Structure 1
Amino acid sequence: MTAQEFTSMVKTYQGLVYTVCFQLVQDADTAQDLAQDTFLAAWRAIDRCPAGYEKQWLARIAANKAKDHLRSGWVRKMSTPGDEVMALAGAPPDQGPEAKALAGVGMDELERKILNLREPYKTPCRLCLLEGYTPAEAARICRRPEATLSAQLWRAKKILRQEIEQERRTEDGTISR
């Protein structure tokens, strides 16, 4: 494929590629960047494009670029469960649902809840929240990849929040399903 043919393909499918990226990332600037990355990747691998399937090929590259972006640590910006409790005194008033759920929980109760978690969540939470290890240090201790440990911490935070919210609903007399 010549550079002129590729330029024509870009003009033809730039709207589609942008739309695919935007539907996944829900941010116009990021979608534009990902569309550019898509066409750059397509240019580099143009010899692998099946003839007659340019549209589907570009859409797949765009979807993969957007999914990779969403999976990246930069986007997830994960915090560990309990960060809100440990920093509540100087914390901004609204840090999201986890902060609201943990706001009324004391350290003793939080420790009890963490120690009652099932594995693989209990050990990373204990190390990071109760013993003060960083996620990187805890990952080395647990012999797990840091990304795995971070994901486990995120899931544990979600479990703790749901448990606390359920207890509050039960205490308030409002039972929801």
Structure 2
Amino acid sequence: MLIRKAHIDEAAKACDVLRRSILELCGADHHDNPAIIRRWLANKTPAVVGSWIAHPDNVVLVAVEGETVLGIGIVRNDGEITCNYVSPDARFRGVSKAMLALLETAARSHGNDVCHLISTETAHRLYLSAGYEDCGVPQGKFGTTSSFPMLKQLAAESSKP
């Protein structure tokens, strides 16, 4: 597996990962409620994902094996992680955790000492295990029952002699 910056021509594959991850892995969040799923997927189109890749305030990363996209992650230049989704075919292979580490590195490279995000119920334990802390009242993003505002103080990069 390789994690690298996304290319605009990968928008459709990355979009497919997003949609499949939400549909197949986030049942604890959407409870198979068609209205919630419709709202959550509304902006998950290849054109929108392409605009995220092209936006200068985003760092968009993909995890790939050959031509297969296994995951997508996005961090804004202000340190907000807006996306960290894995393909159902790659779940429990460390993709999300590895992606998270590189998103944090990208945030740090833009001068941030904190990363913040809104976690799904599905990913909440992952973020807690990576050092994130709840920092607000759970929200109902897209009509879900719980979306957790979280943050993490980033460790300073060690300087090499």
TM-score (norm 1): 0.26
Q: Which has the higher contact order (CA 8 A, sep 6+)?
A: 2
User: TM-score when scaled to structure 2?
Assistant: 0.28
Structure with more of its chain in helix, by fraction = 1
Which of the pair has more CA radius of gyration?
Answer: 1
Q: Which structure shows the higher strand fraction?
A: 2
